[in-house]
Amino acid sequence: MSLVNQTVGQIIRERAKMHPEQEAYVYPELNIRRDYAQFDKETDELAKAFIGIGIQKGEHVAIWSDNKREWLLSQFATGKMGAVLVTVNTNYQAAELEYLLKQSDTTTLILDEGFKGTSYIDIIRTICPELLDSQNGRVQSAKLPMLKRVILMTDREEPGIYKWSEFLAHAAGVTENELETRFASLDPHDVINIQYTSGTTGFPKGVMLTHYNVVNNGKLIGDFMNLTEADRMCIPVPFFHCFGCVLGTMAAVTHGTTMVIIEQFDPLAVLEAVQDEKCTALHGVPTMFIAELNHPDFKKYDTSSLRTGIMAGSTCPIEVMKQVIHGMGASEITICYGQTESSPVITQTRTDDPIEKRVSTVGMPHPHVEVKIIDPLTGEEVAIGTPGELCTRGYHVMKGYYNNEEATREAIDQDGWLHTGDIAVMDEEGYIDITGRIKDVIIRGGENIYPREVEEFLYQHPGISDVQIVGVPDPKYGEELMAWIIPKEGAVIDETSVREFCRGNISYHKIPKYITFTKEYPMTASGKIQKFKLRELAVEEALMRQ
């Protein structure tokens, strides 16, 4: 499992030479299929269009849509001509988009018409009204002084905005030699991607990742899954997040694997794609797998082709993991842990790890990755079996946060260690368990309580589909626990039955004082549960009950 010194563009060309007729990607809902030779040619043409429209090496190109084909092609085309792809959260509204475009110094925005009832065109016109009177490619915005071009992924006519076919036509003015000159000028250590952290706390920060970061992380992820050109990976996780564009597309392309892409997550669309396309791998955050497993029609679909996949993005409940292995048939599914700042994967389980390790840990560090667990107060390494902050160092650590040296210094120390802010425990064999965020630890009457432990216990309740534990202020104990529970469909469950389930099985101080039933959690677009929002709601509710 050696590292490679290649750019994103070099990887796709290599695959096209090795497996030209192998299917590269499939959009089952649109009946679009392309092999690796076609994929290579398409991204060459798009790279020429980027050059032809005037985008220089190192310029920032933001992209705002769900998992459209244009997004996929743009990821690899920018990797061939050196623009930096800035990924935009599909859930963003006007203030968030304005912040990202301004903070990232974006010169070009590629966008779809809209997403889930939100008009992206209306939003960009709100923050850049000058578009109405602008010539295409000559935007002059008071709020966004760096923005020059806006490109639409469709052929809808909009003043000041290139339609997709009009943008693609610029490829005709660029020769093969010009593309090859640009291609040859790229260095694997150039920044190729800026991904904004989910913003579960504070303003999102732009994580600068290089070709070297994402190509090697994708390669090692796929190595751990035993991916080959015989595999077919279903990708329903969003491209704008590193789960989609590194664990998904980059892991697939580095191994010549076929990508079966779902534009927007829908449990039935996923089950249908797995069955019809004979997918061998499936990615998802726990909430996605829960939605698939609990769908009333789940048993009607044949998922027996599944072998592997990744469950990641947030804490993976043990009971859900067992159902994916036994109910879906993904016997070699892996768990990944990391964060955007580490490209993103730091640790991963292997396909042949014992079942108990695959359901109770996040595996061991990848090759070429250093990990240590420290006391966050003293900075000293802790003993095996002792909780502390996980720190990591290696090829995978970001170049830094864009235009934010202070935040970079806070995240990466002078010795190159990235401080994750996550609490971890390492066992004697080197397997790591993530027990929560430093900020999530609940201190009740001087006792440290890790929400993950209580959540894992409550997942065993037959009427609970999902559960999140947060701390709320308490005048007597400092903090108390509140459980936010999503019941299983048709389950008869109340506060009393949940507490009875806990009594005698977990310590009294770990039994939630407050129990609230809900239908859904506040989520980021990438599927992460926003615990800080749950905490805010919990504080309000606890005050009413006190």
Q: Residue 163 falls within a domain, yes or no?
A: yes
Q: Residue 219 falls within a domain, yes or no?
A: no
Q: Look at residue 197 in the predicted model and tell me its pLDDT.
A: 84
Q: Is the dihedral of CA 461, 464, 467, 473 positive or negative?
A: negative
Q: Look at residue 530 in the predicted model and tell me its pLDDT.
A: 84
Beta bridge partners of 310: 283, 334
Q: Look at residue 204 in the predicted model and tell me its pLDDT.
A: 83
DSSP 204-221: --EEEEEHHHHHHHHHHH
Last residue of a domain, one of 142, 169, 196: 196
Give me 85's structure tokens.
Answer: 């792809």
Q: Residue 345 falls within a domain, yes or no?
A: no
Q: How many domains does the chain have?
A: 2
Last residue of a domain, one of 196, 228, 245: 196
Per-residue pLDDT of the chain (546 residues; tens, 9 = 90+): 899 999 999 999 999 999 999 999 999 999 999 999 999 999 999 999 999 999 999 999 999 999 999 999 999 999 999 999 999 989 888 888 999 999 999 999 999 999 999 999 999 999 999 999 999 999 999 999 999 999 999 999 999 999 999 999 999 999 999 999 999 999 999 999 999 986 444 578 999 999 999 999 999 999 999 999 999 999 999 999 999 999 999 999 999 999 999 999 999 999 999 999 999 999 998 889 999 999 999 999 999 999 999 998 766 778 888 899 999 999 999 999 999 999 999 999 999 998 889 888 999 999 999 999 999 889 999 999 999 999 999 999 999 999 999 999 999 999 999 999 999 999 999 999 988 777 777 878 767 787 887 898 899 999 999 999 999 988 777 789 999 999 999 999 999 999 999 988 887 888 999 999 999 999 877 777 888 888 888 888 877 776
Q: Look at residue 198 in the predicted model and tell me its pLDDT.
A: 60
Q: Residue 490 falls within a domain, yes or no?
A: yes
Give me 397's structure tokens.
Answer: 């650590």
Q: Look at residue 201 in the predicted model and tell me its pLDDT.
A: 47
Q: What is the pTM of this model?
A: 0.85
287-318 pLDDT, tens per residue?
A: 899 999 999 999 999 999 999 999 987 667 78
Distance (Å, whole) CA 44 – CA 230: 25
Distance, C-alpha 417 to centroid of its chain: 22
| 85: nearest Cα among 326, 249, 268, 227 | 249
User: Where residue 90 sits, what CATH number does that domain have?
Assistant: 3.40.50.12780
Last residue of a domain, one of 140, 163, 196: 196
What counts of helices (H) and strands (E) characterise the chain?
18, 27
**Tokens 């216990």 belong to which residue?**
457
User: Where residue 510 sits, what CATH number does that domain have?
Assistant: 3.30.300.30
Q: 74 is in which domain, residue-wise?
A: 8-15+30-196
150-205 pLDDT, tens per residue?
A: 999 999 999 999 999 999 999 999 999 999 999 999 999 999 999 998 644 457 89
Q: Residue 433 falls within a domain, yes or no?
A: no
